[in-house]
Chains A and B, each alone.
Chain A
Amino acid sequence: MNRLPSLVRQHLAALRGLLVFTVLCGIIYPAVMFGVAQAAFHQQANGSQVSYQGKVVGSSLLCQEFVNAKGNPLAQYFQPRPSAAVNATDKTDYGCDPGFSAASNLGPNNPTLVQLIKQRQKQYAALNHVKISSIPPDAVTASGSGLDPDVSPQNAYLQVNRVAAARHASPSAVRALVSRFVQGRTLGFLGEPRVDVLTLNIALDQQFPLASGH
């Protein structure tokens, strides 16, 4: 070994060091953690999946789109926030695509963002028959991940009348359901109150089923 120039010897030592740490931190450590995850936290480690009528329909941590074939919102479901997680090459992808998590990255004075917000406010007001001034920010802004599973309680309550009408249910019964799904701040002060849209919609389908054919 000592015949090799010191520069070569040094890099060989470095390479051996890197390989040792790769095995340790890059194979053994993640493998052990994977084992712990699957043994002790099976539900969480596999994406907090939720089911309806025995079939997995998504994850309680990921938003999903409730739209018709043309991309228009389905009145009978609570709607998630606008989403920039879109596969740009797929014309029928309207957002909430976990293969393409993304934010819009539009700046606070970008005219494109200003236009988008105006358009979303108009659509939201028309869909829910509410005044633009009552619409909360989360309903007209895209989330950072594009996968935000939550909406603000205010946003959920504003959608109650529309959802109830589409399901021929009483608004007060739907409102009561929403209030059961409002999660407060963790420990009373961490984060913000919120409503998970997918689990709310599953409960909605269970409690106020749509007439068949929908």
Chain B
Amino acid sequence: MNGALAGWLQIALLVAALAACYIPLGNYMARMFTTDKHWRVERGVYKVIGINPETDQKWSAYLRSMLAFSGVSVVFLYGLQRLQHYLPFSEHMSAVPPALAWNTSASFVTNTNWQNYSGESTMGYLTQMSGLAVQNFLSAGVGLVVAIALIRGFTRSRTDKLGNFWVDLTRAVFRLLLPLSVIVAIIYMSGGVIDNFSAYHSVTTLSGGHQTMVGGPVASQEAIKNLGNNGGGFFNANSAHPFENPNPFTNWLTIFILLVIPFATPRAFGKMIGDNRQGYALVAVMVVIWLAAVGGISFFEAQGAGMAPHLAHGAFEGKEVAFGNPGSSLFAASTTTTSTGAVNSFHDSFTPFGGGIALFDIALGEIAPGGIGAGMYGILVLAIVTVFVAGLMVGRTPEYIGKKIRPAEMKYAALYFLTLPVVILTAAGLSIGLKNPQASILNPGPHGLSEVVYAFASMANNNGSAFGGLTGNTTWYNTVGGIVILLGRFAPEIFALGLAGSLARQSPVPASVGTLDTRKPLFVGMLVAVILILVGLTYFPALALGPFAEGLH
């Protein structure tokens, strides 16, 4: 079969599989967060935590529980890394240095999984398994429950209650993430992903040399790493490492599981608000943007522009033979449009425009389909901005899903949108302007600027992939990066929950002839346009001086 056709078939199978999961998985998620039945094991958890599962929380109480949980998690994970040399199963790894441990714990608690370390030479098995992988579950769960709380803002009226954070989180883990992880981990193992606790040891190679054999409980961690859009590799090479992603089938499966929950969440939204067509409209926006990213990266990587790819007869630096350019491009587009950040090929070595699209995907704010939960609340905020813009055109008070978008709601939405560019551009600007951070850049010219902008866009949007040439393990990038990561996660979540509270207090307004129908293709087109224009204008200078300058040179 011809290579390009095989590449397109790979995408077609993916789209078909995702479409097949949209309704059943979305319906299941909606049911899971609306049923009033508790599982016995869940009641046990509530007892240990010491909460009453029937208590409904106000948005501020929901937020405080979420922040307390995340805060405690940051401290716990920091402590685990700093003390790992005293603990068992640590493979003789020494304590993680303070700045790096701070960056890593902020990164994993926020679903970012930006990594300034190499797993195989920094983190013991216990830290990976009982620290990092646990946050892979919990940070995904937290993202999802914030989205559910925001959806309840639309479904509820004249109330200040949004549900119970602990109940939502526990269900996200027990009913969704854990069972799916078990299935995926078993498929991974059968494909060759390792899962052992063997100590690193040396073997004599065929020609008489020596090679270190590495090990670790990888399959169990790999499953939730991808399913929860975390992306933090067990090993430095992440999903390019053959022990994490051994063959073209595991590669395809990995891409599928990165996308499956985020793409099914609009269905859960549609189901919960009782209007499935609203879910279809949002998922259509996501699909359009994701497919454009897939097509764009695939095209530019296959074309192979740039001096080095020309010389080598192809853009193949940083890619694996088994995945080829199609499998690497599809992965890159999917990991950057979800907030995953796992990589099976290295974006720093991509062609200028291929890498530029990866950066643009992240800058879009992770909404197409975005990270688990985070993509859903992100696109809901942008939908509100869109009906507001449409309302301005015709001079009417905008509404969305039966709720008026008043100044209070718009303030939350605007704050949500403005946080990330301010954080990203400030941190990137300082890093370019100051001498020390500038020295971390590997590649000369405009590409070096792309490395820095990519780094902060990735950290603030909780993606975690990198233009890996940038030396991140410095006091500056560890410290400032940790702050950027926390701001990029929790500021938008605070605004999303505030928005949810404000919406829930309203009485529903019945749709009238003047109401913009947000189920129609017109709205889908407007939402896509608002997303592209907002992001395009915000990041245009940085993108022009980085990828564009390099690509058009």
Contact = CB atoms under 8 A, between A and B. Distances in A.
Decide if A and B are genuine partners: yes
Interface of A: 1, 10-18, 20-22, 24-27, 29-30, 32-34, 36-38, 40-41, 44-49, 52, 55-59, 61-62, 64-67, 74, 77, 81, 85, 96-111, 113-114, 117-118, 121, 135-138, 140-152, 185-192, 194, 198, 201-202, 205
Contacts of B198: 46
Contacts of A149: 242
Contacts of A97: 211-212
Contacts of B112: none
Contacts of A110: 308, 443-444, 447
B134 A21 contact: yes
Contacts of B298: none
Given A25-B173, A26-B131, A27-B130, A108 B350 contact: yes
B143 to A, nearest CB: 15
A209 B346 CA distance: 38
Given A15-B72, A108-B350, A25 B308 contact: no
A104 B442 CA distance: 10
A103 B318 contact: yes
A98 B195 contact: no
Contact of B1 (A32, A66, A98, A188): A188
B130 A45 contact: no
Nearest to B131: A26
Q: Which of A11, A18, A24, A145 has the most CB of B within 10 A?
A: A145
B78 interface: no
B206 A57 contact: yes
B118 interface: yes
Interface string B429-444: 0000000000000111
B509 interface: no
A137 B242 CA distance: 20
B73 interface: yes
Contact of A46 (B196, B311, B442): B196
Given A46-B198, A108-B550, 8 more contacts: A10-B68, A49-B213, A77-B207, A104-B317, A107-B348, A107-B447, A118-B311, A150-B321
Q: Which of A11, A121, A137, A149 has the most CB of B within 10 A?
A: A137
Interface stretch (B185-193, B494-502, B525-533): B185-193
Q: Which of A40, A74, A77, A104 has the most CB of B within 10 A?
A: A104
Contacts of A46: 194, 196, 198, 215
A135 to B, nearest CB: 8
Contact of A114 (B71, B130, B215, B311): B311
B3 interface: yes
Given A10-B65, A48-B246, A110-B444, A30 B206 contact: no
Given A100-B236, A105-B468, A47 B317 contact: no
Given A30-B221, A108-B352, A138 B131 contact: no
Given A18-B72, A107-B447, A101 B207 contact: no
A7 B344 CA distance: 43
Contacts of A33: 182, 185-186, 189, 195, 217, 219-220
A147 B237 contact: yes
Interface stretch (B47-55, B97-105, B151-159, B357-365): B47-55
Contact of B240 (A56, A99, A103, A138): A103
B310 to A, nearest CB: 9
Contacts of A24: 173, 178
B213 A59 contact: yes
B59 to A, nearest CB: 15
A82 to B, nearest CB: 9
B426 interface: no
B389 interface: no
Contacts of B49: 13, 16-17, 20
Given A30-B133, A103-B240, A108-B351, A17 B195 contact: no
A104 B213 contact: no
A-B residue pairs, 8 tightest by C-beta: A191-B248, A108-B306, A144-B240, A192-B324, A137-B314, A26-B130, A37-B195, A105-B469
Nearest to A48: B192
A44 B196 contact: no
Contacts of A21: 134, 137-138, 173
A34 B320 contact: no
B306 A109 contact: yes
A13 to B, nearest CB: 5
B73 to A, nearest CB: 6
Contacts of B211: 58, 62, 64, 96-98
A61 B242 contact: yes
Contact of A58 (B178, B205, B221): B205
B9 interface: yes
27 contacts: A12-B50, A25-B133, A34-B197, A44-B190, A56-B203, A58-B205, A58-B206, A61-B246, A62-B242, A64-B209, A66-B207, A102-B237, A105-B442, A106-B442, A107-B306, A107-B442, A108-B317, A108-B550, A109-B447, A114-B307, A121-B311, A137-B314, A142-B318, A149-B242, A186-B249, A190-B10, A192-B321
A187 B253 CA distance: 13
Given A14-B68, A64-B211, A102-B236, A145 B320 contact: yes
B205 A64 contact: yes
A24 to B, nearest CB: 8
B346 to A, nearest CB: 4
Contacts of A41: 189-190, 195
A14 B72 contact: yes
B120 A144 contact: no
Contacts of A77: 206-207
Nearest to A148: B320
A164 B324 CA distance: 28
A150 B327 CA distance: 15
B6 interface: yes
Interface string B130-149: 11011001100000000000
B540 interface: no
Q: Which of A61, A99, A105 has the most CB of B within 10 A?
A: A105
Contact of A109 (B65, B138, B352): B352
A51 B214 CA distance: 17
A25 B311 CA distance: 48
B133 to A, nearest CB: 6
Contacts of A13: 49-51, 65, 68, 166
A144 B320 contact: yes
A165 B311 CA distance: 29
Contacts of B351: 108
